[in-house]
């Protein structure tokens, strides 16, 4: 079995050998800005805009528009034009960022220029302003300009008055990243899940910025307790989902985490698990498991203490 030290040396070697590329689209596999944005009415006040990378949710409140996430930078002009068309150029009061990834924050600058205040967990603000490598994607992140930065941040969960409606934001530490929030619209029974619910694919835990499978499981468990069978869930991208979809993701993660923990204790690594087709019964629903298995395995090594120091 490899020691933690030898694993660490492997990481350092891999890092030194890899060219560091500019962060061009996140996530790099599978999700990119589509040619056309698609607007879908969820309730009288809520509209889902898909196709800009990550989902963007538009809420028409009595004090102006509230958005959850801002899509890819490359879609930002098109996104703003569509919002103006849908709302007859209403003022944009605020934008929640569910986490720092570029497919959810790329439009921050153009929305800020229209007067929007950007809101996020403090860790999201810190990542957006930092220079760092996302080594497992062979990408690097450059600090975003001041105009893209959240102006109001929190460390905990809370609520926010959006023109008389109390929106609830909940922070889940170390899940998809270390700054994830969900945003719940109680009057409409709509939960925007950000990176915590993937759409018919294996979810990503970004271990470079604090994500790991144990935190994602805890987040999904808490989200399941918050919602009911009528709740509309907005996943990280694509069409709305239901509580049953979130339950299916949770059950899959829970089963694979249990198996992967046991296999890791026996000395198997992520590649062994892929070769043994550990995920076979889930692949028809969740797709290609390679990145999920390899990154989950790496993330477990970073969280041995949380798992009882078993390795």
Would you tell me which residues interact with Zn ion (CB under 5 A)?
101, 195
CB nearer to Zn ion: pick between 45 and 101? 101
* Least Cβ distance, residue 208 to Zn ion (angstroms): 12
Distance CA 195, CA 98 (A): 7
* Least Cβ distance, residue 97 to Zn ion (angstroms): 11
Q: For 179, what's the count of Cα atoms within 13 Å in the CB-facing half-sphere?
A: 23
* Least Cβ distance, residue 211 to Zn ion (angstroms): 9
The residue assigned the tokens 């892929």 is 274
Distance CA 51, CA 16 (A): 35
**Region for residue 309 given its phi and psi (left: phi exceeds 0; alpha: psi -120 to 50; beta: otherwise):** left
CB nearer to Zn ion: pick between 163 and 240? 240
CB nearer to Zn ion: pick between 114 and 218? 218
Evaluate whether 196 touches 182 at the Cβ level (below 8 Å).
yes
The residue assigned the tokens 């468990």 is 221
Distance CA 287, CA 293 (A): 12
* Residues whose CB is less than 8 angstroms from the CB of residue 169 and which lie 6 or more positions away in sequence, other chains included: 96, 119, 154, 157, 158, 159, 160, 181, 182, 183, 184
The residue assigned the tokens 């198996």 is 259
Within 82-123, strands assigned E span 92-96, 117-121
* Residues whose CB is less than 8 angstroms from the CB of residue 143 and which lie 6 or more positions away in sequence, other chains included: 128, 129, 130, 131
* Least Cβ distance, residue 254 to Zn ion (angstroms): 21
CB nearer to Zn ion: pick between 101 and 125? 101
CB nearer to Zn ion: pick between 101 and 112? 101
* Least Cβ distance, residue 195 to Zn ion (angstroms): 4
CB nearer to Zn ion: pick between 209 and 269? 209
* Least Cβ distance, residue 55 to Zn ion (angstroms): 11
CB nearer to Zn ion: pick between 99 and 112? 99
Q: For 39, what's the count of Cα atoms within 13 Å in the CB-facing half-sphere?
A: 17
Cα distances from 80 to residues 39, 211, 235, 274, in angstroms, run 12, 30, 21, 42
* Least Cβ distance, residue 99 to Zn ion (angstroms): 5
CB nearer to Zn ion: pick between 195 and 215? 195
Distance CA 92, CA 65 (A): 5
* Least Cβ distance, residue 192 to Zn ion (angstroms): 13
């Amino acid at each position: 079995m490899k020691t933690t030290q030898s694993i660490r040396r492997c990481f350092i070697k891999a890092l030194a050998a890899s060219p560091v590329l500019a962060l061009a689209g996140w996530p790099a596999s599978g999700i990119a800005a589509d040619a056309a944005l698609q607007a879908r009415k969820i309730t009288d006040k809520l509209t889902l805009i898909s196709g800009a990378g990550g989902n963007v949710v538009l809420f028409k409140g009595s004090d102006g528009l509230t958005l959850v996430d801002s899509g890819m930078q490359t879609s930002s002009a098109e996104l703003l034009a569509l919002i103006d068309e849908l709302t007859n150029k209403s003022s944009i009061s605020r934008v929640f960022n569910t986490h720092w990834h570029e497919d959810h924050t790329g439009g921050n600058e153009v929305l800020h220029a229209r007067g929007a205040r950007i809101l996020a967990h403090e860790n999201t603000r810190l990542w957006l302003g930092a220079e760092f490598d996302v080594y497992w994607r062979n990408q690097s992140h450059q600090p975003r300009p001041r105009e893209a930065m959240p102006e109001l941040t929190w460390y905990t969960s809370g609520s926010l008055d959006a023109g008389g409606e109390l929106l609830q934001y909940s922070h889940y530490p170390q899940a998809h990243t270390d700054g994830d929030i969900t945003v719940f619209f109680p009057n409409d029974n709509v939960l925007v899940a950000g990176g915590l619910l993937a759409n018919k694919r294996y979810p990503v835990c970004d271990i470079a910025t604090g994500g790991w499978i144990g935190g994602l499981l805890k987040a999904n468990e808490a989200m399941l307790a918050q919602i009911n069978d009528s709740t509309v869930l907005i996943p990280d991208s694509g069409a709305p989902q239901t509580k049953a979809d979130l339950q299916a993701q949770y059950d899959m993660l829970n089963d694979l985490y249990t198996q992967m923990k046991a296999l890791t204790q026996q000395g198997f690594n992520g590649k062994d698990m892929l070769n043994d087709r550990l995920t076979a019964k889930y692949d028809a629903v969740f797709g290609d498991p390679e990145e999920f298995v390899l990154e989950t395995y790496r993330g477990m090594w970073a969280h041995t203490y949380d798992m009882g120091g078993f390795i």
